[in-house]
Amino acid sequence: MCDQGKILIFLLAAGSAFSGLCVSVAADPRSTTVIRDYRVHGDTERSLVESMKARPFRGDKGPAMANVRPRYRLTMETRKDKHVCRIKTLDLSIRFIMTLPRAVNKDRFAPRTRRTWASFRAFAQRHESVHRRIYMNCARRFLRTARRRSVPGSCSRLRREVNRMLRDQKRDCERLNDAFDRRELSRLRTLSLFRNARLNRHRKPATDVRAPGFGLRYIVTGNNR
């Protein structure tokens, strides 16, 4: 039996475990988060929105106003047990780069603009934090599955299999994030920053949304009527 006090693994989206084999296992994936600024100019609701429309952040699926990107690092050690290859240790770390809007001219804000901007930024931060949580949950599910993998014969086959599982997990997780973006769209359009900006400009023709992405792109491209 494995000594539970010695069972150890740092994981973020990978796993390992097999009967009769003491495998290093962590309770959760490892992760770090780096916060970066997306600089927005302007000192009124209208000028802030226009700044984001003119110079949007380059997101993974087009122009956006906030973003979180996961960067994965997978390491594993395998062990041949008779004619079966199993995972001995598996470590998957995720480095998140979270980009949030920062108002460059905040010191010139009127009280109302200060409140509406703070509300918008809080929404963006919460939105990206939920994306980060979705990625982490995907990583945990991947770990539970990958931990049980074993293959007869060569360990290189097992390593290829685990890497394929990680690629599949990334793809499936992006679908979950896209679905979350779509659900958030109606809330985004009602934020006071955009409502107030719409009151102070002429309406423009709408354009099509080509990808789900963060709903802020929906505002950027003109569908803010």
pLDDT values of the chain reduced to their tens digit, one per residue, 225 residues: 333 333 233 223 333 333 333 344 444 789 999 999 999 999 999 999 999 999 999 888 888 899 999 999 998 988 988 889 998 888 889 999 999 999 999 999 999 999 999 999 999 999 999 999 999 999 999 988 898 888 998 899 999 999 999 999 999 999 999 999 999 988 888 899 998 888 765 544 333 333 333 444 444 444 433
Q: What are the backbone angles phi and psi of residue 103, rounded to the nearest 5°?
A: -80, 120
Query: What's the predicted TM-score (pTM) here?
Result: 0.76
Closest to 117 in 3D by CA, of 45, 185, 214: 45
What is the C-alpha end-to-end distance of the chain, expressed in Å?
64
pLDDT of residue 34: 97
- Cβ neighbours around 55 below 10 Å, total: 14
CB 86 within 8 A of CB 20: no
Which amino acid appears at position 81 of this protein? D
**What residues contact residue 24 under an 8 Å CB cut-off, 6+ apart?**
7, 8, 9, 16, 88, 89, 90
- Cβ neighbours around 95 below 10 Å, total: 15
Q: Which residues pair with 94 in a beta bridge?
A: 31, 72
